[in-house]
Each structure stands twice: as C-alpha cells, then as structure tokens.
Amino acid sequence: MMNKVIIGLLLFCGTWSNAQVNLVEERPNLVVGIVVDQMRYDYLTRFYDKYGDDGFKRLMNNGFNCENAHFNYIPTYTAVGHSAIYTGSTPSVNGIIGNNWYDKKAKKSIYCVDDDTYQTVGGEWGGNKSPARLLTTTVTDELQLTQMNRGKVISISLKDRSAILPGGHTATAAYWFEDHFITGTYYMNELPKWVESFNKKDYAQKYLKGKWDTMYPIKQYTESIEDENDFEQPYTGMEKAIFPYDLKSLQVENGGNNMIKATPFGNSILIDFAKEAIENEKLGRNKETDFLAISFSSPDYIGHQFGVDSKEIEDTYIRLDKELADFLKFLDKEVGEKNYTLFLTADHAAVQVPAYLSSLKIPSGYINSVEFKQMVTDFCMNRFGSDQLIEDYSNFQLFLNKDELKRLKLDRNEVSQILVDYVLEFDWVFRVVDAHSLQNNLYKDRIMEFLKNGYNQKLSGDVLIIPNPATISHSMKGTTHGSGFTYDTHVPILFYGKGVKQGKSSRFIPIVDIAPTLSNLLKISYPNGNEGNVIEEALK
C-alpha cells in the first residue's frame, strides 16, 4: 500500500512539473505593450486607405480589434491612462488622479512621478522620479513577481510618466527623453553602455537637420481640413502653421533636441531606441518572458498644437503606420513571428478644436479657469465672509480649506452643496456634484459613473465639475483632452500575436480589461487592484 502511495505521489509530481513547464512554454517570449498618446479610434478608420498592409492594418486584420473600447473614468489624462492600462484599475483605486494634482496634506500641487529621493542618471536633470504614487501593482509587476524577477521589463517613452508608470514598481529599467535618453537612480546608478552609445550618436540632430513635409503630396490628404486655417498653433518663430517646416532653423527657439517630441520624428527615435533595447538586452531570447513597454508621446504634442483634424496629424499617423510596419518586421526577425504578443492602445483621445466646431455651428466653447476661480472666491467672500475657503482649483475640482471651515464653524458638506448650486448656474457647466453625494449615490448615466470611477476618497477635491461637451480650458488654437465624453474616451485596443484570436468585437470594452486579459494570457496573477475582466473572445 505504501509503495502505491509513493508511486502515486511521484506520478502526481511529474504531472505537476510537466504542467508548469507547459504553462511557461505557452507564454510568449516577449510581450510588447504599445500606447499611442492621444490616439482616437477613428484614426484607424479615417486614415485606413492611407495605411500600408503591414502596420495598423496587420494588427486590425490579423489580430483582435476592440472597436468600441473606452476609458471608463474622468479625467482622461496621460498619467491616468497609462496607470489604468497597466493596473486594470481606475484612479479611485490606483491613486493616479491626474498628471498633476493638489496634495491636501502638503498643500501644494504635485506631479505624478516626482520623487526627490532619487537622482538623475545620464543627464543633468529630469531623473528624480519614481512610480511611488502608484498604489497598486501593474501587469508588469505581476509578471516579475511570478518569474522571481528573472525576466526583463523595459519601459521607454519620450515622457517620464509614460515610461515610469507602465514599468510598474519592479521594472528592470525605464528610460525617457530630456535632450537625450535618461533614467534615474530608482532603476540604476549608471546608464548601460548601449544607452550611452545610442545617446552619443545624437539621433535627434539627424532627424532635426532637415524639413518636415508631408510624406505624400498634400493634395492627397483629403481626410483633414485645409493646411492653412485659424485653428492651429504655429511653432515659435513661424507666423502660420503650414507645411513644410524647416526644423533645422526652428529648433533653437523650440527646445533644441527636445523639439523632436513635437514632430513625427519623435516616434522614429523611439523606434530606434526600442530596437537597440531588444538587441542589447536580448529581449525575447531569455528563458523567461520579457516585457517591452513603448509609449509614443509625439502624437500628443502634435495633437495639442495642431488639432485632430489637421494635415499634421494625418501625416503623423501615415508615418507612424510605416514605423509600426518596420518594427513588426523587426520583431518577426529578432524574436520570431510566433514568439511575441503585442497590444496597441492609447492613453486617451482628444476633442476637435472647439473654435473649428463652432465654425460649423456645433456647440462648443472655452473656459477661463483663472476667472472662474476668482468668481467662486468672491462668492465665498460674500456668502461666508471669507476669501480663503477655496484652497485650490485644479482638474475641475474645488478643494476646501478645512482650517478655514473650522475657524468659521462651517459644515463642510453644507458649504459644498451651496457651492454646487452656485457653480451649476454657469453656462459652461454640464454636471457638478459634491464629494459626499458622489460617494453615497449610484448613478445610471455613464458620465457620472465615470466621474465616480475617477474620484479617489483620500486625494480628490470637495466639489467636482464636468464642463459641457466640447468645452475646454485651453487656448483657441490646438486642442486638449480630459473629459468623459466619447471624443476623449474612445480609443483603439488591438491584440496581436501568440495566444490571440483573429477577430473583432463591437461591444463596450473598458480600458481596465487590458491588464486582466494579458494576465490571463500569461497565466499570472492579476494586478492587485484590478477591476477589469478578461476579454475572452480575444484569446485562443
């Protein structure tokens, strides 16, 4: 009897060991996460006929296309988007409530990844950063935890926050661009030799020494408005925002090497850097699964400056399509076509320039935030006898001064409700709610649900405001984002490669579903704050 038990245990252990081996073998050698900053879903369809067969079309037609994917919270900003994508959670859970926000304890505005505990590596400034304010784990963290840090996680972007947050707390390295690629002591004490070598080649100057003209004759760019219009912000030193752009003569007044961020060649230099990372770090060729997170920041800079209907945006995406095609071929060669899994999404979308919409008689508008705060302050002076009650106004949130409330013996909830009633009278206000009501009510309309998902009980303000559709706090040239309306929330989600089914879905898919879907594919734990669900139809 004892011998049978021993034999049974040995057989069970052997089966378990083989199952573990099979699970590891089922994982891709490399996961590539691509986030395109400020990419609307309709850039896939609007420019479809201008794309080649090997870039966006390859992912759309041979991978899985989530056609109705949305961010499910407010505000739709860069840091918040990257955090949601990689943690599977909204700001209410992960703690990243903006790019910048008011710190109620420190009583000052803070930046999402600033951390003076660490110093710059590879440059003079810009590296005192970390993911410390991100309260939850990421899918990249969970991969590292599962593999006991034996795999590599490399995260790269032109923006610091877009490199740091996707990499999570356990990234092997994160690199971002400040005149050249740098990092911080959170990750390492000196740059690897391959990064130093890359920086010495000064790719930025190679790209900026020429002109930016349209890749195809501009008359073929029929998916965008006229090149010369009143809705775009020219580069410093130019009177009009029209092609071609002489980058060599403009770069001194537009940030030197950093001007590359606001051109499509910022995408090019990031692809160059990604290839070097894959080759030198041997990503996809290690025993464990590696992860490369890439965030293309240039479309955001260009979108803010020129708007979503510009020739500049159209040309940027035509060029990005070619860069993507080249990168996919590189992955096929270096890692193997059947050995990697890739997803592509965006951290938010953007609204058409409101001035342009107004010219078409579509409701839209602008907000003067400085004037608004002063009007609220004056109201508090008249109503409560104090001009110190509003401690801060940012991200469309009013923060009350708790010390002043106590001094005046005012009830916080009562004051908040009075402010709600006052603010609602402004023509540009769509919805307004106080924090107490937001926490204690269930909402059937999606826009209020999104606001609640973006509200963090410890960090957010006391009165939260939603402007009217297509109404922004921005100059009348160029555009921005941040709302919960579809122009800001509707983004691509494309899965491609190992473990992914070919197909598409038109059902509503929230952005927080990306992380659990990847976790399921990789057979690892979900991020610890995960709120999303597996997109089952996308996986084999």
DSSP codes joined into one string, 289-312: PEEEEEEE-HHHHHHHHH-TTSHH
- Alpha carbons 143 and 24: distance in angstroms, whole number: 12
Average pLDDT score over the chain: 95
Tell whether the model's pLDDT for residue 306 goes beyond 70: yes
Q: pLDDT-derived band of residue 16, with 50, 70 and 90 as boundaries?
A: very low
The CA distance from 310 to 353, in Å, is 10
Give percent of the chain above pLDDT 70.
Answer: 95
Write phi, then psi, for 106 (nearest 5 degrees).
-75, -15
CA 157 to chain centre: 11
Nearest-Å Rg of the Cα atoms of the chain is 24
> Domains of the chain by range and CATH?
34-358+482-538 (3.40.720.10), 368-427+429-467 (3.30.1360.150)
One-letter amino acid of 49: D
- Per residue in 191-204, pLDDT (tens digit) is 999 999 999 999 99
Q: What confidence score (pLDDT) does residue 55 get?
A: 98
Render pLDDT for 357-399 as a digit per residue (tens, 0 to 9): 999 999 999 999 999 999 999 999 999 999 999 999 999 999 9
**The pLDDT of residue 524:** 98
- Identify which has the larger pLDDT, 254 or 6: 254
Residue-wise pLDDT for 394-428, tens only, equals 999 999 999 999 999 999 999 999 999 999 999 99
Helix/strand/coil for 79 = helix
Token pair 């940027």: residue? 316
Least confident of 5-14, 196-205, 495-504, 526-535: 5-14
CA gap 37, 313 in Å, rounded: 12
pLDDT for residue 15 = 47
**Whether residue 76 has pLDDT greater than 50:** yes
- Token pair for residue 152? 């590599």
User: Residue 367 in contact with residue 377, Cβ under 8 Å?
Assistant: no
Measuring CA to CA, which residue among 502, 503, 504, 532 is closest to residue 518? 532
Note whether 401 and 393 are within 8 A (CB).
Answer: no
**Max Cα separation, the chain?**
92
Whether pLDDT at 432 is above 90: yes
Residue among 78, 138, 263, 341 flagged as catalytic = 78
Task: Tell me the pLDDT band of 19, cut-offs 50, 70 and 90.
Answer: very low
Residue with tokens 């509503």: 508
pLDDT at residue 17, rounded to an integer: 47
**Tokens of residue 89, six digits:** 């959670």
Indicate the pairing of strand 340-346 with strand 490-497: antiparallel
For residue 1, the model assigns a pLDDT of 52
**Mean pLDDT across 80-94:** 98
**Across the beta sheet with 429-434, what order do the strands follow?**
390-394, 397-400, 463-467, 429-434
Structure tokens at 273: 């850097």
Q: Which residues pair with 491 in a beta bridge?
A: 69
Q: How far is CA 342 from CA 63, 217, 337, 373, 479, in A?
A: 9, 32, 11, 45, 30
Q: Give the DSSP letter string of 207-276.
A: HHTSEE--SS-GGG-TTS--SS-SS--PPTT-SS--S-EEHHHHGGGGTGGGGGGGSTHHHHHHHHHHHH
Q: Decide if 78 is catalytic.
A: yes
Identify any residues that bridge with 103 across adjacent strands, giving them in sequence order: 108
| CA dist., res. 26 & res. 339, Å (int) | 10
CA distance 463 to 118: 34
